[in-house]
Amino acid sequence: MSHIRFAASFLIVVVTCAGSAAAQDRPRGFIGINGGYQASTTEFDDNFTFTAHQETGTTRVSYPIDAGPAFDAGAGIRVWRGLGVGVAVSRFTIDSTVSATSSIPHPFFLRQNREVSGEAGGIRREETGIHVQAQYSVPLGRRLQLTLMAGPSLLQVSQAVVIDVNYTEEYPYDTAAFSGVDSTRKKGSKAGFNAGADVRWMFTRNIGAGVMARFTRATVDLDPVDDRTITVDAGGAQVGVGLRVGF
């Protein structure tokens, strides 16, 4: 019986040491740099009033936010077995075309507003995300590894916002024509969440490539524009491919 116990104890020690050696052979931390794509789309509307010819006019603007290229960089480190912590920074920029409709008071007659509508391009949306993550890594092979990630995010939005619709008119001013918009840039930030996964294939112990997928979400209030606040959705589904460096 003592020999069996000794053999079992010896086997446990060997397996434990082998596992420790394998874990030590793998890099403890990773840096990832990705070129990617934010696949989610969203939209929001804004309504505001203005005064012209001693009457009140109204404007409605629709902002579609299309999918577009994104950039991502992050790092993570194992702290115990497969558990780790990490942080990532993402950047998304897109130029959109907005649709605007205005009801413009008549210079001569009350309650005879003229309606103008049109589209304006070059309305830029910029999103920057800082993502803190709890990570759990699962080896899928000698060179392949899956890391699951989730945690809080801080998303900042910088958005070009229409503040006025331009138009042309001629006597007798019964009609007007859309000629463009004036815009200003507004910013806001809000805490949200992130969840995703990273799969990496290591060519050597320290150099490899990976594929990342992440979903983030926050609802951001932009700085007040003429005493009104615009609420927008930020984040979405992102995918990226890039370099992995172990350390």
Chain center to CA of 28: 28
Rg (CA), the chain: 28
Position 107 pLDDT exceeds 50: yes
| Chain segment 38-60, per-residue pLDDT in tens | 999 999 999 999 999 999 999 99
Residue 87: Cβ-neighbour burial (10 angstroms; 0-12, 13-18, 19+):
middle
Architecture of 28-246 per CATH? Answer: Beta Barrel (2.40)
pLDDT band at 19 (very low <50, low <70, confident <90, very high): very low
| Chain segment 85-95, per-residue pLDDT in tens | 999 999 999 99
pLDDT-above-70 percentage for the chain: 90
| Chain segment 71-85, per-residue pLDDT in tens | 999 999 999 999 999
Locate tokens 């805490």: which residue? 191
CB 74 within 8 A of CB 244: no
Please list the residues that pair with 154 across neighbouring strands. Answer: 130, 191
List the domain boundaries for the chain.
Answer: 28-246
Position 25 pLDDT exceeds 80: no
